[in-house]
Structure 1
Amino acid sequence: MTQQYIRPGQVWLDTKGERIHAHGGSVLTVDGVHYWYGENKEFSTPGSGIWHWGVRCYSSTDLVNWDDRGVIIPPDEDDESSPLHPSQGLDRPHIIFNAQTGKFVCWVKVMTKGSVQRSTVLTADSILGPYEIQRTWLRPLDMSAGDFDLVVDPHDGKGYYYFERVHSEMICADLTSDYTDVTGYYSTHFPQPQPPFVREAPAHLQRGGLHYLLTSGTTGYYPNPSESAVARSYHGPFEVLGDLHPSDESRTSFHSQISSVFRHPGKKDLYIAIADRWLPRYLDHGDRARQAFIEHFAPGRDGDEPMEEFAYVDTSIADYVWLPIRFDGDRPVVEWREEWSPDEYEDA
């Protein structure tokens, strides 16, 4: 059945009627077709020991109806030491195209036991693969690299890598010409003493000569207030603009976390904040859960003290919150909509 609207926070099914699994995802347009890819969480039920089942991809021409194109980076079921083993904490794949090499380059963050976070880099000749591993267990700039975004300058093709230096600050690092490593040149932004104030989940967008970074706080799967910042270059300095979702009284970014921003190439000024609602059942507990969370992360509190758990963590039922970004002057704003369509926007 063909759908007409994007309905944020509701279960999103593909054209076969199956739940879409492209979590922590992004959208890349190739030859007029949109490809939405992300973490495949179909088997990541509580107690399964399965964090992911590879990277899955879907294709669409309208951003509403999605065809399942399968697992484009499969899990390595046999080698427990592989970063692609289902038990490894593979997160947030990002794919960019290198016009110089003709390769699609995919980076993934892999979190292992002890919260050590490192990167794996793969390349392919097609967006749909097959992908070959080029680097494993990479520590960019000898840092523990967490949530990230990859950016290609549309004019000169230079690549940039924004990542959270775990529980510390945000880094912008230049990529090598083949996009599979960093050059060593980098800048630092938004230093913070501890979670939940440290910024993570960076999502970059460029508009009108300005560079924006949208980030979240570090609160695990629990949603928190997002934040936007603006600069005139990739390396900043960035000016913090405040909460991206100012109309959200719950202060939870509409109970979601942004993973990337998609600029629609066929529409005028349509930027879409692509976000995950990791804990749909968190909404059942309302302000009581949020207050417990705030108290747990209050400055001076021992971070090792157990937190009262309200959310039932089952990422196999995580949903998506896709919303258009409106610009109030040069400030990006995301407002709630029960349903919307990219067709509402003027063609470019």
Structure 2
Amino acid sequence: MQTLIKQMNADNISRLIKNCAVVFCLITAGTALHAQVSTTLKPITKITPGTVWKDTNGEVIEAHGGGIMQQGNIYYWYGENHAKGEGNKTGISCYSSKDLLNWHNEGVVLPKEALPVAFRDSGACERPKVIYNDRTKKYVMWMHLVARGHLEADAGIAVADQPAGPFKYLYKTRPIRYNYGYRGGSARTYVGDPEEETKGNTFRDMTLFKDSDNKAYVIYASEDNATMYISLLNADYEAIATPAVLNKTWVRALPGAFREAPAVFKADGWYYMFTSGTTGWKPNPAKVYRAKTMLGKWEDMGNPCAGDEQQTSFRSQPTCVIPAPGRSAGNFIYMGDRWVGEALAQSTYVWLPFSVPADGNIRLQFYKEWSF
């Protein structure tokens, strides 16, 4: 009996030693794997325009045609998710960051299923922009909804209680109804949507701008892309101010200029607007306009891009402009998309720093990499 007990003890000790060895191997392997992941996901310290940008999980950032809203010390980047290709096959994604370099994926904050059927899959939900309403405590998103080859070209509005959503879709609209000559005559130099007369004027590439006095504006390409419209929003930012009165609550900016992709910001008492031409996915020369008031007259300041590829805006299209963190007033970051039209999932981002000189003549230069 004593011999049997000794043998059992010996077996248990042997088994314990083997188990400890296995545990040690697992811990060692886990430590090595953790070290490998940590090396792969080390923090980003520089921006490299036009290259693949990954989030803190090592996944490619999907936030095209996007905009950034800052709330406290956190930045939120909203944009189109094209991981599954062209069309609204996923919805609107959101990423958060404290340094504009390393982005955490907050997920899809407005899924395609939240929108009318026409704007899912083969339709599109483009250029989402979000601003915060201090009175209602709501985060308000406007977007461009498109279907039927742009015959459906509407604004979509959604709201959320938190910056990372979820956002609740409210409705779609064409905010302005104005006869600019689509019935014919000398004023008509282009063919617009045949439904404009009853539905309102087309709503295409857009952005939002919230001023220092908390007044907010929607800026969008209309009249079949020929003219930029700028309209004051109402107190809750969920619709335009009514009644809509031309040159009082809204203006036809840049009439007949055929500009799109507006990105608006303010510097030294002037309002500035980056725009692109209307060449689809193909890049073209950017133009900057400026005005003393949002609803005032906008003057053409020319192509801001300097150096090589200035005629393609460094192969990008503007989508947003934000103040440069940690820098003095007058320093900004240009945000653009380098579209790959035949494979949208391969599109990248072109972010570049710039400053606004006293004469307002902005010069945007390309850098292979740069840091704050």
Residue 131 of structure 1 aligns to which amino acid in structure 2?
F
Report the Cα offset of residue 154 of structure 1.
Answer: 1.2
From the two aligned structures, give the one with the greater strand fraction: 1
Is the alpha carbon distance of 1:52 and 1:92 closer, same or farther for their aligned partners in structure 2, counting shifts above 3 Å?
Answer: farther
Q: Please name the residue that 1:170 is paired with.
A: 228
Listed as ranges, the gaps of 5+ residues in structure 1 are 280-311, 343-348
Residue 93 of structure 2 aligns to which amino acid in structure 1?
R
Aligned equivalent of 2:269, options 176, 187, 209? 209
Tell me, yes or no, if structure 1 residue 72 matches structure 2 residue 109. yes
Aligned equivalent of 2:174, options 139, 158, 181? 139
Match of 1:214, SS state, is strand
Q: Please name the residue that 1:96 is paired with.
A: 131
Tell me, yes or no, if structure 1 residue 187 matches structure 2 residue 216. no
TM-score (normalizing by structure 1): 0.82
- Alpha-carbon distance between aligned partners in 2 of 1:267 and 1:2, rounded to the nearest angstrom: 21
- Alpha-carbon distance between aligned partners in 2 of 1:107 and 1:11, rounded to the nearest angstrom: 27
- Alpha-carbon distance between aligned partners in 1 of 2:121 and 2:149, rounded to the nearest angstrom: 17
Tell me, yes or no, if structure 1 residue 315 matches structure 2 residue 344. yes
Match of 2:328, SS state, is coil
Do the aligned residues in 1 keep the contact of 2:265 with 2:271 (CA within 8 Å)? yes
Tell me, yes or no, if structure 1 residue 62 matches structure 2 residue 94. no
Do the aligned residues in 2 keep the contact of 1:52 with 1:90 (CA within 8 Å)? no
Match of 1:316, SS state, is helix
Do the aligned residues in 2 keep the contact of 1:76 with 1:82 (CA within 8 Å)? no
Q: Please name the residue that 1:4 is paired with.
A: 45
Report the Cα offset of residue 43 of structure 1.
Answer: 0.7
Q: Please name the residue that 2:29 is paired with.
A: none
Match of 1:272, SS state, is strand
Tell me, yes or no, if structure 1 residue 331 matches structure 2 residue 372. no
Q: Which has the higher contact order (CA 8 A, sep 6+)?
A: 1
Q: Please name the residue that 1:158 is paired with.
A: 215
Do the aligned residues in 1 keep the contact of 2:68 with 2:129 (CA within 8 Å)? no
- Deviation sequence 1:251-286 (CA, Å, 0-9, x none): 10000001011124543233111100002xxxxxxx
- Deviation sequence 1:78-131 (CA, Å, 0-9, x none): x86254x23321100010101111100001101110312101100111111121
- Alpha-carbon distance between aligned partners in 2 of 1:265 and 1:134, rounded to the nearest angstrom: 33
- Alpha-carbon distance between aligned partners in 2 of 1:29 and 1:250, rounded to the nearest angstrom: 30
Tell me, yes or no, if structure 1 residue 247 matches structure 2 residue 307. yes
Do the aligned residues in 2 keep the contact of 1:54 with 1:86 (CA within 8 Å)? no
Q: Please name the residue that 1:219 is paired with.
A: 279
Do the aligned residues in 2 keep the contact of 1:173 with 1:186 (CA within 8 Å)? yes
Residue 355 of structure 2 aligns to which amino acid in structure 1?
R
Is the alpha carbon distance of 1:134 and 1:265 closer, same or farther for their aligned partners in structure 2, counting shifts above 3 Å?
Answer: farther
Aligned residues: 298
Q: Supply the RMSD in Å over aligned alpha carbons.
A: 1.7
Identity of aligned residues (%): 34
- Alpha-carbon distance between aligned partners in 2 of 1:190 and 1:246, rounded to the nearest angstrom: 23
- Alpha-carbon distance between aligned partners in 2 of 1:316 and 1:13, rounded to the nearest angstrom: 13
- Deviation sequence 1:184-215 (CA, Å, 0-9, x none): 121112122xxxx5100111010000000110
Residue 257 of structure 1 aligns to which amino acid in structure 2?
Q
Q: Please name the residue that 1:81 is paired with.
A: 117
Q: Please name the residue that 1:291 is paired with.
A: none
Tell me, yes or no, if structure 1 residue 271 matches structure 2 residue 332. yes
Match of 1:18, SS state, is coil
Report the Cα offset of residue 250 of structure 1.
Answer: 5.1
Q: Please name the residue that 2:22 is paired with.
A: none
Match of 2:345, SS state, is helix
Report the Cα offset of residue 41 of structure 1.
Answer: 0.7
- Alpha-carbon distance between aligned partners in 2 of 1:80 and 1:167, rounded to the nearest angstrom: 23
Q: Please name the residue that 1:125 is paired with.
A: 161
- Alpha-carbon distance between aligned partners in 1 of 2:322 and 2:170, rounded to the nearest angstrom: 26
Worse-superposed segment, 218-227 or 127-136: 127-136
Report the Cα offset of residue 249 of structure 1.
Answer: 3.9
Do the aligned residues in 2 keep the contact of 1:261 with 1:271 (CA within 8 Å)? yes
